[in-house]
Amino acid sequence: MVQNHHGTVGENKGKRPKFFINDHVDILIEILKRLDCRSLCVAASVCRLWCTIARNDSLWENLCFRHVSPPPSSVRSVVLALGGYKRLYMGCVRPVRSRLGRVRRASWARDEVQLSLSLFCVDYYERLGGGSNSNGRLVGESSPSSLMFLCKPMNV
Amino acid sequence: MKRDHQDICGADGGGYGNSSGSKGESSITSKGKLWEEDQDAGDMDELMAVLGYKVRSSDMADVAQKMEQLDMAMGTAQEDGISHLAYDTVHYNPSDLSSWVQSMLTELNNPVLPNSDSNSSKPQQHQQIVSSNQSQVYNDDSEYDLRAIPGIAAYPQPKRIKTSMETDSSSSTTEPSTQPVVLVDSQEAGVRLVHTLMACAEAVQQENLKLADALVKHIGLLAASQAGAMRKVATYFAEALARRIYGVYPQDSLHPSYTDMLQMHFYETCPYLKFAHFTSNQAILEAFATSNRVHVIDFGLKQGMQWPALMQELALRPGGPPVFRLTGIGPHQPDNTDALQQVGCKLAYLAETIGVKFEFRGFMVNSLADLEPKMLDIRPPEVETLAVNSIFELHRLLARAGGIEKVLSSIKTMKPKILTIVEEEANHNSPVFVDRFTEALHYYSSLFDSLEVSGVVPPSSQDLVMSESYLGRQICNVVACEGVERVERHETLAQWRSRMKTSGFSPAHLGSNAYKQASMLLALFAGGDGYRVEENDGCLTLGWHTRPLIATSAWQVAATE
């Protein structure tokens, strides 16, 4: 973790000026891009700047496709339209990866992402709702989620 | 002395609570059949006396049942050492068969420490004594009950006399178990429960409605003693039997949106529908690989949950998405709302969001047999690639003569590139009621068992209840209805295969992509270990432990010479 040392402007000790990461947002982004999910969430609580950066969707895009060769550019527009990479990661990719961790094979990395994308799309469709009974639920019920099964704890 | 060569259940001695009472019943071939009943005999049965056993005639059925239980318990406890029964247990007066069998049973329940040698005439298995597993009373017996049933249904043990009751299955498992199988009271009640269900079905088939009525009430009592899935299954079957007995059928027809809702809950709690959708989509995708205009006809649109995933994969296809046309078929709505159009709008919105050109048409028909290919605006194969998709819809056509043939020939005239079919993997269409009942009992037991594990926590939540209700309606239809009302006419994959082949279709093998995706999907579900995806000669089946429950197959029109 990079620590922020706020060197006082008035000090003139003849040393090199201290490195202040928040002055170099591009480097900061490069670093945060490589973090895992949990660290990224922790980073989001450091300060406003870090919070803004950590919530930026492109960082989550990296997380989603981390172990996979870069996807075609068409994926981005679809994912953004369906709710963005952060949502994709938190809702689908992360639970899928953690569940499959038990039985994972190396070749499945790409398929995991594809499956996550499909589930993500189904979830978006379900959330569309609209109309009195068109989403197949009685009025007044809690909103449906076909991703519910991913949120439930697994008895490992 | 006249000997009556009758089945044990054909006689009317006392204590025959577990078998149907009508004479002329010939389908039960339990071990009791070996003991011929002599009604004229005094207290002891004459034939058994010849063999050296003293058994009261009135006790015969009871002893028979206990022998079965003993056999089961020994059969399953093989690894765990029951040799204490051979060497260590004291058996007094083995000629008194009734009490001897009883003492064996209690021995198994509470094995006594080695004492003196025994005098048992039953053949023993010679196993190592495993000292670690002694009498642990098993409280969690309902799962034993159920795992056994699918196992037996899938792999009937040849050594057992095949009975229509299949009672042996209830308290043993076919999987090698490393824990001792111990019969506890509620497990015995579970055995009785299955006995009674079968007996009731027999009685219904014999049209002995008074007896059936009595048995149905008894089932209710026994079901209450069970826990979990077994109780629910028994309750649904009892209700269905009661409906049949009292003639309260058909069930009130529900508004289609309500049944859709039940199916949505079912979709969310367990992977069966998702498996169906994903595997069919994979086959359709592969068929659409090179086309720029594609058309899918969905025989049961419902809420359209299958199509978002397909559209997403089409959108991300290298080379860009094709023009996607969807024709959805659905039932008439009682209140004249256009449910199909609402679903179509949602799908259109999604399509626009992800950048797929989309067209939708909906058709409301009472039965698929009413469809005419002309209505569907089929375009020639050079212009547009067609896929026809049917998820749990085709079996309904078997209720009316000629229905399925008409639909299959309609499909052929449409010239689809691929036809995807998902059906339940079970034979619930036998004309013999008892066979149908037995099959259904096994099938839905497995299904409920899987729901129990993969269901939402806590188990009493709404989703689980709704899913069970969804299945309960099917049970009711299979058991209580007849004729055109009985639409849940499930047939096995083998039966569908032969039907498709004779109708002029050839199988299209589902590739490894479908298998891989399905396996991954299953691994995501809690209880994922219990689900099994299997490849069956180009088709994929999803099952719970050893029992396949649904099967996906893909077909193309056979090339004519």
Rounded to two decimals, the ipTM of the complex is 0.78
User: Region B270-297: what's the mean pLDDT?
Assistant: 93
Q: Residue B294, by phi and psi: left (phi above 0), alpha (psi -120 to 50) or beta?
A: beta
Give residue B181's pLDDT.
44
Give residue B56's pLDDT.
73
Contacts of B355 in chain A (CB under 8 A): 74, 77-78, 81
What global pTM score does this model have? 0.70
For chain A, percent of residues with pLDDT exceeding 70: 69
The interface residues of chain A toward chain B in range 5-64, judged by CB-CB distance below 8 A, are: none
Residue B322: alpha-carbon gap to chain centroid: 40
Q: Please give, rounded to a whole number of angstroms, the shortest distance from the CA of A12 to a CA of chain B.
A: 57
Give Cα separations from B453 to A5, A8, B16, B142, B449 (angstroms).
53, 62, 36, 12, 7
CA distance A2 to B457: 42
Most confident segment among A137-141, B137-141, B193-197, B550-554? B550-554
Q: Tens of pLDDT along B76-95? A: 655 455 555 555 556 566 66
Nearest partner of B148 among B441, B550, B476, B492, judged by Cα: B441
Q: Is B504 on the interface with A (CB under 8 A)?
A: no
Q: Please give, rounded to a whole number of angstroms, the shortest distance from the CA of B532 to a CA of chain A.
A: 14
Q: How many residues does chain B have?
A: 561
Give residue B161's pLDDT.
38
Res. B381 pLDDT band, cuts 50 70 90: confident
Token pair 């990079």: residue: A2
Give residue B87's pLDDT.
55
Give residue A155's pLDDT.
45
Give residue B124's pLDDT.
34
Contacts of B461 in chain A (CB under 8 A): none
Give Cα separations from B240 to B17, B104, B234, B340 (angstroms).
21, 38, 10, 31
Ranking B29-33, B40-44, B203-207, B322-326 by mean pLDDT, the lowest is: B29-33
Give the residue on B whose Cα is nearest the Cα of A134: B342
Q: How many CB atoms lie within 10 A of CB B348?
A: 15
Helix (H) or strand (E) holding B552: strand B547-557
Give residue B523's pLDDT.
83
CB B339 within 8 A of CB B300: no
Compute the mean pLDDT over every residue in chain B, rounded to the nearest whole number: 75
CA distance A85 to B521: 21
A-B Cβ pairs (cutoff 8 Å, strict) = 127
Q: Please give, rounded to a whole number of angstroms, the shortest distance from the CA of B515 to a CA of chain A.
A: 12
Give residue B8's pLDDT.
36
Q: Is A73 on the interface with B (CB under 8 A)?
A: no
